[in-house]
Amino acid sequence: VSFTCTGFRFAGVASGIKAKKALDLGLLVSDLPAHGAAVFTRNRVVAAPVTVSRKRLAKTGGLVRGIVVNSGNANACTGANGAIDAKAMADRAAEAVDIRPQEMLVASTGVIGVPLPMDHVNSGIEAAAPLLRAGHFDQFARAILTTDRSAKIARRQRELGGSKITLLGCTKGAGMIAPNMATTLSFVVTDAKVNADDLHGALAAASDATYNAMTVDGDTSTNDMILLIANGAAKNRPMGKKTLEQFRETLTELLSELAVALMREAEGVHHVVSVNVVGAKTKASANTIAHCIANSPLVKTAIAGCDPNWGRVLAAAGRAGVPLTAEKLSLRIGDVLVAANGAAVDAAEWESTAQAVMQAAEYAITLDLGLGSERACVLACDLSHEYVSINADYRS
Amino acid sequence: VSFTCTGFRFAGVASGIKAKKALDLGLLVSDLPAHGAAVFTRNRVVAAPVTVSRKRLAKTGGLVRGIVVNSGNANACTGANGAIDAKAMADRAAEAVDIRPQEMLVASTGVIGVPLPMDHVNSGIEAAAPLLRAGHFDQFARAILTTDRSAKIARRQRELGGSKITLLGCTKGAGMIAPNMATTLSFVVTDAKVNADDLHGALAAASDATYNAMTVDGDTSTNDMILLIANGAAKNRPMGKKTLEQFRETLTELLSELAVALMREAEGVHHVVSVNVVGAKTKASANTIAHCIANSPLVKTAIAGCDPNWGRVLAAAGRAGVPLTAEKLSLRIGDVLVAANGAAVDAAEWESTAQAVMQAAEYAITLDLGLGSERACVLACDLSHEYVSINADYRS
C-alpha cells in the first residue's frame, strides 16, 4: 500500500523538542487550494494551538492549505506567551512553504505547562519544508506520536462522482492523555472535491460515530483535534446528497479504523470491548448508559481480570442517571446470556463460556434495557496494572 | 471508650453465609419506641433489602425499632425471590426480638446475583437474638464488613437540650463497591429525642456534607444505606432550631469521622486528598468540578505516584462541563502555589516542596477558579496498583 493522496505532500523531522533525535515536527501541505474542517476538544481548558487553528478556520471560512504539528510539548497552560508562540509557529511554517499564513493551522502534543522551545520549532520547520514529498506520510505520522508504540495510518479509496477518490489519515494518542503528554490528534486528507459546509457536516457525523464513541479513561485533553482537508484533485462531480452520504460512510470507516487502532494501543490495554446498550427509549439515554458502563473503574478492572462480573455492569448502568427498570435488564457477554430480567442466569450455563469470551482481544457486551428500540455503542477497554504504571510510576 | 448508647442493644454472629466462621449477621434493636431516618443509594438498580426498608419507613412514617444486616451476600439482582427473602429476613428478626415487623428494617452487602442462603440467615437470627447486649456494638460493627480491614466505629457526646446525648455509629465499605461485594453501609444510633422530620433533615444535611462529598472510584452500589435511629432515652427537651442545629453539627462530625475512616481503608488507598474548589460562581459548579477532579483516573494516578502533575488537575476541571476561564485558574498543592493565571509557576519554586506535600497520607489541593466566592470540597484518593489487583485479579 502506498500512503499517498494526490496533491498532498508531507514531512517529518527530528527538531530537538524531544530527546534522542525522535521525529517531533511534522508538516502537511496541499499543493492546490483546499477546504478544511476540524473538530476540537470540548475541554474548557484549551491549548494555544487549538485557539489559533480554530480562529483561522473561522476567519477563512474553511480555506486550509496545511498544518504544522509538533510532539513533545503541548503548548498548553502556557499563558499569553503560548498564544504568541503558536501563532509564530504557524506563520513560520506558512512562510517556509509559501502559502498564506491564515491557511496554515497548528497543533501540538506533549508535556503541559512548559514553554514551547521556539528555536527547535523554527529550525525544525526550516528542515522539514525542503523534505516535503508525496511519499512521506509515514514520517509525518511518526512525528506526531508521544507515548504511542507505533504510527497509526489508514487509507480508503472509493469510486465517487465519476472519480476514484482517496482518503488518507493518521492518528496518535496512547490514552486520552498520556503521562503528562496530552492529546488525541488525527489528520485526514482527501483528494475529493467537497465544499466546506459538507466537509464539516461529514466530519462531525463521522467523528460522533467513532472518536466520540470511545473512551480510555474518560479524561479529555486540552489539545484534541481532528482535521480533514479536501483539495479536489480527484476532480469528481459536485456531490449530491447520495454521493455525500457515500463520502461520509467512507470517512466513518477510515476514522473507525484509526479509532480502533488507537484503542488497541492505548495505555495498558489488552481488551477492546464494544459496549452495546439496546432496547432503550431514546438514543441519548442508551448513549449515556453506555458511556457510564465504559468509564466504570469496576467494569474496567473486571474486563482486565476476564471476570464475567455482570453485577458491576448492571450497577454502572443504574448510576447513569437515566430511568430504567432493574427487572427488565438482560446482559450478554459475547453471545452468552448471563443475566435476564435483572437476575442471574444459572452460572453453570454460562460461567466458563463467558470467561472464554473475555480472553479475546476484542469482544462485545450487550445490555438490553427492555424499554424500547433505540441503541448506542461505545468502545471501552480494560483498566490494567500497566495503565497505573504508565500514569503513576512516571515522574514529571 | 465504651461503645454504648442508652436503650440500644446489639449482636453479631457467624451464621455461615461467609466461609471461615467470620461474623456475617448483625442485629441492632432499640428497647424503646424510636424514630428512624435513612438515605439510600441513588443507583437505579436497587437491591431487595433497600426496597423493603424504604417501604417500611414510608409506611410507619419513620417509626423504627431495629435492623438486621448480613454481609457476604448483597441480595441484589436476585429477582422476585430476592424481595421475598429480604422481607422474610426482616420479619424473622422482628419475631425473634418481639417487635412489630414493620419497625424492623433490613440491609445486605456482599456478592451480587446469588440467592440469599435463607437457612444460614434464619439460624443466624436465632443465634443473635439472645446475644443482644448494650456492650456488643463492636460485634455488630464487625458483622457488617466485607473486604474492610477492620471495624470502623465513631462516638460523640454533647450537652444538648438539658441532657447529655450520645451518638454511636459504624460503617463499612472498602471501596464504593468491593470486589463483587457491594455497598457502603452506615448505622448510627442516638439516645437524643428528635422527631422524625427533624431526624431526616439532619441526616440529609450531614450525609451531603460527608458521605456524598467523597469518592473512591465514582461507582455507587445497589445497596448503599445510612440509617439513623433516635430513641429519646436521653430525655432532652424538645429540640428548637438552635438545638437541632447543634444536633446536626454533631451528627456531621460523627459521619465525617466515619467517612474519613472509610476512605483511609478504601481499596488500595495510600493518600486521602481533600479536593477544594474555591472562587466559583455557584456552589453547584464548584461541586461538579471538585467531583470531576476527584474521579479523574489521571489525577488519581498522579496522586498515587506523588507526582505534582498540575496540568492533569486543570484538564480535569476543564472537562466538567462548567464554564471557566483557563487564564484565571490557580492551583495549590497543600500551601504550595504551582500554577497561577492558568500557567505554570517556575518549577524551581515549588517542585520539591509540592512533592514533599504529596508524600503525606492526607493533604489538600485547592483550585481557585477566580470567578466568585463559592466553594466545595470532595474527599478523593489515589488509584493504585492495589486497587487494580483487588478488583481485577479477583475471580468471582
Q: How far apart are CA A216 and CA B338, in angstroms?
A: 28
A63 — contact with chain B (CB < 8 Å)? no
Closest approach of chain A CAs to the CA of B200, in angstroms?
23
Interface residue B133 vs chain A (CB under 8 A): no
Taking alpha carbons only, the member of A337, A208, A197, A218 closest to residue A266 is A218
Record: contact B220-A315, CB cut-off 8 A: yes
Average pLDDT over residues B340-355: 90
Contacting residues for B290 by C-beta, under 8 A, at least 6 apart: B275, B276, B277, B376, B377, B378
Q: What is the mean pLDDT of residues B373-382?
A: 90
Give CA–CA dist B241/B198, Å, rounded. 10
Q: Is the pTM of this model over 0.90?
A: no
pLDDT of residue B77: 87
| Structure confidence at residue B396 as a pLDDT band (50, 70, 90) | very low
- The DSSP code sequence of B59-128 is HHTSB--EEEEEEEE---S-HHHHHHHHHHHHHHHHHHHT--GGGEEEEEEEESSS---HHHHHHHHHHH
Q: Does B352 touch chain A (CB under 8 A)?
A: no
pLDDT, tens digit, for every residue of B64-83? 999 999 999 999 988 889 99
| b/e map A93-124, b = 16+ CB within 10 Å | bbebbebeebbbbbbbbbbbbbebbeebbbeb
Is residue A381 classed as helix, strand or coil in its secondary structure? strand
The DSSP output letter for B212 is G
Shortest distance between the Cα of B26 and any Cα of chain A, in A, equals 24
Question: With an 8 Å Cβ cutoff, is A287 touching chain B?
Answer: no
> CA-nearest residue of chain B to A331?
B77
Q: CA-CA distances (angstroms) from residue B43 to A128, A315, A369? A: 55, 7, 15
Mutation to test the A interface, candidates B43, B81, B267, B390, most A Cβ within 10 Å: B43
Using the Cβ of B327 and the Cβ atoms of chain A, whether some distance falls under 8 Å is answered with: yes
Number of Cβ pairs < 8 A linking chain A and chain B? 224
In the three-class reduction of DSSP (H, G, I as helix; E, B as strand; rest coil), residue A136 is classed as coil
Is-contact A232 A34, C-beta < 8 A? yes
**Which chain A residue has the Cα nearest residue B316?**
A219
**Do the beta carbons of residue B243 and residue B172 sit within 8 Å?**
no
Q: Which of residues 162-221 of A touch B (CB under 8 A)?
A: 177, 180, 182, 217-221
The whole-angstrom separation of Cα A25 and Cα A14 is 6
H or E segment and range at residue A390: helix A385-392
Confidence category of residue A176, pLDDT binned at 50, 70, 90: very low
Q: Judge if ipTM > 0.90.
A: no
Length of chain B: 396
Alpha carbon A42 to chain centroid distance? Answer: 13
Which residues of A does the annotation mark as catalytic?
183
Please say whether the beta carbons of A269 and A263 come within 8 A.
yes
Cβ–Cβ below 8 Å for A113 and B310: yes
Contact across the interface for B44 and A221, Cβ inside 8 Å: no
pLDDT of residue A86 exceeding 70, the answer is yes
Q: Which of A102, A80, A81 is closest to A91 using CA atoms?
A: A102
Are B309 and A396 inside 8 Å of each other by CB? Answer: yes
Distance in Å, alpha carbon of A217 to nearest chain B alpha carbon: 6
Whether A317 contacts chain B with CB within 8 A: yes
Instruction: Name the packing angle between helices B241-264 and B196-209 (round to 10°).
Output: 40
Tell me: the pLDDT tens digits for A247-260?
A: 999 999 999 999 88
The partner residue sitting opposite A77, judged by closest CB among B82, B324, B343, is B343
> CB distance from A308 to chain B under 8 Å?
yes
Tell me the per-residue pLDDT of A125-166, one tens digit each, with 9 for 90 and over: 999 999 999 999 999 999 999 878 889 999 999 999 999 999
SS3 A111: strand
| Angstrom distance (rounded) from CA A310 to CA B382 | 25
Mean pLDDT: which of A145-159, A181-195, B5-19, B177-191 is highest?
B5-19
Q: What is the mean pLDDT of residues B121-135?
A: 98
Residue A386 has pLDDT above 60, yes or no: yes
Using one digit for the tens of pLDDT, what is the confidence trace for B23-73?
999 999 999 999 999 999 888 888 999 999 999 999 999 999 999 999 999
